Amino acid sequence: STVVLVFQAPTSKSPKNTDASKFRFSIRRGDRIRVGQALGR
């Protein structure tokens, strides 16, 4: 089975957001992940 997440989050593309507030993933492809571990911040 497979789960797909689709979500809005701050991006650096919009003029108002400084780069600091851009959402960043903290994973790599192929990583094993567990429930509760951060995918990004």
List contacts with other proteins (CB under 8 A): 1-11, 13-17, 22-23, 25, 27-41
Quick count: other Cβ atoms within 10 Å of Cβ 10? Answer: 15
**In Å, how far are 26, 39 from 7, measured between CA atoms?**
16, 12
Distance of closest approach, residue 18 Cβ to other proteins, in angstroms: 13
